[in-house]
Amino acid sequence: MYTKIGIPENNSLKSKIEELYEWCDKRDNDDELGKTYFNEPIDEDKLNKWEEANGVKIPETYKEWLRFTEKCLIDGSSAMFWGTDDFHHNFMPDNLTVIGEMSGDGEVVCFSNDNGEFMGYYEGDITYRTNDFSQVIDQIFERNSAWGGMSKEAMELFMKFGSYKKETTDLNYHNDIFRPINFKKDIDGNLICPNNKKFIFLKRVPVKRNKYGREEEKYVCEDCSNCPFKNQCHKSKENRVITVNEELTSYHKEVIDNLECIHGALLRMNRSIQSEGTFGIIKEDRKYKRIVRKGLKAINLEIFMISCGYNLMKYHNKKYKTDLCC
What are the pLDDT digits (tens) for 251-310? 888 888 888 888 888 887 777 777 777 888 888 888 888 888 888 888 889 999 999 999
pLDDT of residue 98 exceeding 90: yes
Q: Do 95 and 216 reside in the same domain of the chain? A: no
Q: With bands split at pLDDT 50, 70 and 90, how would you rate the model's confidence at 324?
A: low
pLDDT band at 2 (very low <50, low <70, confident <90, very high): confident
Q: Is 47 within 8 Å of 63 (Cβ atoms)? A: yes
CA dihedral 111, 117, 122, 128 (to 10 degrees): 150
Query: 41 vs 52, 67, 229, CA distance in Å?
Result: 20, 5, 75
Q: Is residue 75 part of a domain?
A: yes
Q: What percent of the chain has pLDDT over 90?
A: 34
Among 91, 40, 166, CA closest to 320: 91
> Quick check: is 318 in a domain?
yes
Per the CB < 8 A criterion, the answer to whether 242 and 199 are in contact is yes
pTM: 0.48
Least confident of 10-19, 73-82, 100-109: 100-109
Least confident span in 54-68, 144-158, 265-279, 312-326: 144-158
Cβ-contact 98, 87 below 8 angstroms: yes
Query: Is residue 316 very low, low, confident or very high in pLDDT (cuts 50, 70, 90)?
Result: confident
Task: Give the number of domains in the chain.
Answer: 3
Domain assignment of residue 268, yes or no: no
Domain range holding 311? Answer: 291-326
The reply to whether 77 falls in a domain is yes
CA distances from 210 to 157, 174, 203, 205 (A): 21, 27, 18, 11
90 and 45 within one domain: yes
Q: Is the predicted pLDDT of residue 10 greater than 70, yes or no?
A: yes
Taking residue 102's Cβ as centre, other Cβ atoms within 10 Å add up to 24
188 and 77: one domain?
no
pLDDT band at 153 (very low <50, low <70, confident <90, very high): very low
Mean predicted lDDT score pLDDT of the chain: 85
Express as a percent the part of the chain with pLDDT over 70. 90
